[in-house]
Structure 1
């Protein structure tokens, strides 16, 4: 049950529009829920559990937020935003500036955390990492698969949707506030690999690393994670070249990239139509199809199967193992 090789959609023209904040609700300490709608009332593009959108903010920042509403309701896109105490300006702007009636430029949706079909699921969420899991829980509940959710947070008051989940799904949802119960008991939750079961996890890096360690003895491809920040990845750069060539087949543009340079930034400078967002290898916006060559992956998006296939790459952080890459750009 390994994840399917992703089909890149990044350089297909994405939906981009100025949406209005239809409603804003505080749902936990430091967490606001925003409902975004087309000002004219037009339907928004369909999305699937695990998808996220970009908010292109007036302060020049672009931030990604998971869609967490009803995926059958095409009148709004709902996101939950945590005010990060170490905010570099994104969540702070949302909390301080985006009120009901405000407009914000939005791009997407995009999905690199797709819900793969399976008989059983174990969902694990930490803090605001509950947002992409919400739609997944709804989907598998509707279709009748077996599932459980282990949901942790600093305090019960900081855990958005905790009471709603516990009340609606008794016996399936375990709420685990750290100040009441300590750290999540991952040893018990993940001790024995379960047949035909996928594990989905989203949350802070400490949780993701711990879950990866506890799932090390599970079959390959079982664990699916989504990160808020770039993972510390050890990459063997011994095969990296001082310079390599990138050929953009559709654009007819060829660029030369030095080892210390970003392919994405060089493409942007050359006028190649491509969209970037995080520039850290975590959002998947700049995904490109590889037609020839061998990418040197440094992103935090692709799974092992996708890396091994060499068919796609995140050009903001990844490089080349050979002298020439040909991309479908």
Structure 2
């Protein structure tokens, strides 16, 4: 796609993002092609790519071709993070498909995850305007994602983890890439500097909301509904917000947890009795209201405002 190419409709841009990701995964060098082709069979909902495209839309909803490269690159970074997550968690299932590490082994999966990160940077470099490419600074967001994952790992089984510390973890491991998506779209859509700052805030809040909702999923969904293992966070040593609330509110439960005497049924009961899910959903509502305030201040058409708001609503599980 050249610089002179005309702007695209949202539908055209979305299809091109899917094509670019599919092409990158299935037309990779022969030595790695089988592994990446396996990943291509289970594309997700692409909420990060959608965020890039929506935020890049002009007054008529048309999208600059560069946004396609950015959206595809960010989705590939996300895919790389999932590959690495599955290795750490020893997960068998992702998006209803066998994970790369389960099918081909951990060593192969690690290398494939690393390759995907290099592929993402190559895709972003295809953005026609060099200044816009450097403005987005995807490597910085990848660093934040990695540091968030490391911080989570360092705090594995930390029963003294505070709410503040937990928010700091998910600000990196989940929210950073959402912020990058909104930021990239705003930059490539030619938004004013003040609006770009607002988009970054909205993206960050959307990421926090997305992760907190996922924390709830670990307690109130089945594997069939989630298409991935559920009720497994604590088994992996991951302490999430509903559990933090239970540990704060139930000293008897904390004592048993510290002694290593709890099973999954104890966790579910303590979270329910301490209102852990309700507390997490209240946090989601709080971040949603913060995001909404920034959305209301954007200098955009009402149609675009509604589209941006719809992304946040989807992350929060609010029906539009």
Q: Shorter chain as normaliser: what TM range? A: under 0.3
Structure richer in helix, relative to its length: 2
What TM-score, normalized to structure 2? 0.22
TM-score by length of 1: 0.22
